């Protein structure tokens, strides 16, 4: 992925720990709240929760919420709680996604469904989402809970739309963007907005940070979908080819089917409909010989550029710079 605009490259080359420096202690504080919320009197439930702690990864969402707060003003105790909440919603969706995708590997660890079966994975996802709402409702006013619950409704809609459009080879780009806006970007948009609102930011900055999060989220998902098709399983650390296996049309495929002649289109359609469980390799080979990867990368870049532009509503600060770098990181990521 060598397509990101040159002005974003230096920041993207920074390690994430540098990006998070302005809120490092706050990320830690929210991680402690996350852990405390999941303490259970049932040892085996604690074991399940300890396992999903491996899925935290980059903690992109809590860091974004906390950096948004810092970019607008002070980080407050409510931000620590909310950062734990958004991470918990995120982990809950991963656990259920892995059930739906029949995925075996997540962040180089076995998925919950792989280790303990679908039933525990479904219930553990329910447990995490319920605890996220519980944590959220511990705040003195219901505003954040309303926003979180509304976002969770939207995420579920996006997931349902994705399943509904499975095997739909006529899916249009705007429908794809609607689905990923709901299932992925809505959560990251709420991170930006909540960070700003609880820092007492004016409406204009709240809107800017919501737009920032939404655009980063769309870029993130386009890149994630590209990795699923073209990534290296050992490097990415999770099951790949799941989108093809599950009949999910993603941006390079949509572009290919729209822009190619009949004959290559027929070959891709045949590969997508093949019963071979490694058919995504043939799909990847066909796509690699086209300009559809570049098309999807450019779309991700445009969303990152629009995210960075939204930040102009904020005064310059170390936190704002970190958010800019985070947006660029989304393009550069390999896992």
Does the footprint of a second copy cover residue 24 (CB under 8 A)? no
Residues in the chain: 335
**C-alpha torsion angle, residues 176, 177, 183, 184 (rounded to 10):** 130
Pick between residue 104 and residue 282 the one whose CB is nearest to a second copy. Answer: 104
Distance of CA 268 to the CA centre of its chain: 27
Token couple for 328: 């660029």
Does the footprint of a second copy cover residue 123 (CB under 8 A)? yes
Does the footprint of a second copy cover residue 247 (CB under 8 A)? no
State the SS3 of 76-124.
CHHHHHHHHHHHHHHHHHHHHHHHHCCCCEECCEECHHHHHCHHHHHHH
Does the footprint of a second copy cover residue 150 (CB under 8 A)? yes
Please state the closest distance from residue 207 (CB atom) to a second copy, in A: 21
Q: Which of residues 159-188 bind a second copy (CB under 8 A)?
A: 159-161, 163-164
Please state the closest distance from residue 77 (CB atom) to a second copy, in A: 16
Number of residues this chain uses to bind a second copy (CB under 8 A): 44
Does the footprint of a second copy cover residue 156 (CB under 8 A)? yes
**C-alpha torsion angle, residues 240, 273, 173, 182 (rounded to 10):** -50
Does the footprint of a second copy cover residue 220 (CB under 8 A)? no
Residue 4 neighbours by CB under 8 Å, 6+ apart: 12, 301, 304, 328, 331, 332
Please state the closest distance from residue 46 (CB atom) to a second copy, in A: 11
| Closest among 111, 107, 132 to 121, alpha carbons compared | 111
Q: Which stretch binds a second copy (CB under 8 A): 113-121, 192-200, 285-293, 300-308?
A: 113-121
Pick between residue 142 and residue 315 the one whose CB is nearest to a second copy. Answer: 142
| Closest among 102, 100, 141, 117 to 48, alpha carbons compared | 117
**CA distance linking residue 11 with residue 330, whole number of Å:** 11
Please state the closest distance from residue 214 (CB atom) to a second copy, in A: 18
Please state the closest distance from residue 3 (CB atom) to a second copy, in A: 33
Does the footprint of a second copy cover residue 48 (CB under 8 A)? yes
Binding site for a second copy (CB under 8 A): 40, 42, 44-45, 48, 96, 99-100, 118-120, 122-127, 129-131, 133-134, 136-142, 145-146, 148-150, 152-153, 155-157, 159-161, 163-164
């Amino acid at each position: 992925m060598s397509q990101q605009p040159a002005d974003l490259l230096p920041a993207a080359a920074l390690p994430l720990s540098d990006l998070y420096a302005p809120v490092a202690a706050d990320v830690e504080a929210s991680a402690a709240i996350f852990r405390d919320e999941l303490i259970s009197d049932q040892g085996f439930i604690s074991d399940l929760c300890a396992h999903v702690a491996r899925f935290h990864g980059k903690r992109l969402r809590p860091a974004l919420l906390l950096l948004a707060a810092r970019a607008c003003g002070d980080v407050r105790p409510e931000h620590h709680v909310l950062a734990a909440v958004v991470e918990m919603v995120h982990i809950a969706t991963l656990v259920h996604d892995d059930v739906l995708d029949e995925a075996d590997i997540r962040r180089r660890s076995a998925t919950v469904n792989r280790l303990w079966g679908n039933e525990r994975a479904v219930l553990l996802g329910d447990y995490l989402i319920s605890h996220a709402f519980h944590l959220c409702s511990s705040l003195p006013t219901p505003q954040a809970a309303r926003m979180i619950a509304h976002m969770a409704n939207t995420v579920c809609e996006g997931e349902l739309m994705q399943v509904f459009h499975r095997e739909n080879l006529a899916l249009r780009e705007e429908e794809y963007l609607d689905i990923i806006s709901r299932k992925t970007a809505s959560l990251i948009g709420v991170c930006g907005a909540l960070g700003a609102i609880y820092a007492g930011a004016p409406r204009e900055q709240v809107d800017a940070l919501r737009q920032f999060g939404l655009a980063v989220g769309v870029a993130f998902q386009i890149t994630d979908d590209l990795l699923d098709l073209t990534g290296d399983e050992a490097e990415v650390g999770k099951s790949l080819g799941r989108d093809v296996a599950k009949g999910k049309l993603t941006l390079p495929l949509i572009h290919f089917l729209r822009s190619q002649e009949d004959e290559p289109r027929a070959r891709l359609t045949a590969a997508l409909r093949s019963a071979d469980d490694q058919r995504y390799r043939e799909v990847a080979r066909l796509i690699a010989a086209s300009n559809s990867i570049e098309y999807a990368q450019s779309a991700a870049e445009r969303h990152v550029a629009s995210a960075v532009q939204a930040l102009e509503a904020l005064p310059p600060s170390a936190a704002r710079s970190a958010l800019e770098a985070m947006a660029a990181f989304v393009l550069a990521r390999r896992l």
